Amino acid sequence: MGEIEELVKKGQSLMDGGQFADALGFFEQALLLNQNDPDLWNNKGIALRSLGRYEESMECFNKSLEVEPRDKFAS
């Protein structure tokens, strides 16, 4: 498993446990490695939304759609 996949896996595990701020850090690290993955932007957006940071989360969801306009999973 690659570095990005490991970061996402850790982030998703933390999200499942309600540790949204910690999860956000892992998603941000993954985005430093690849900013052209709409799933990474969605993950970051979900973490931000869970933290009540709605404006920032919308920016992430919009970035996901910018990267992949047909992204049917964009929240």
Tens-place pLDDT, residues 4-48: 999 999 999 999 999 999 999 999 999 999 999 999 999 999 999
pLDDT at 54 over 90: yes
Residue 45 within any structural domain of the chain: yes
| Cβ atoms 38, 71 nearer than 8 A | yes
Enclosing domain of residue 53: 3-67
The CATH number covering residue 28 comes to 1.25.40.10
Cα distances (Å, whole numbers) of residue 54 to 7, 29, 70: 23, 20, 22
How many structural domains are present in the chain?
1
Model pLDDT, residue 70: 76
Model confidence, pTM: 0.90
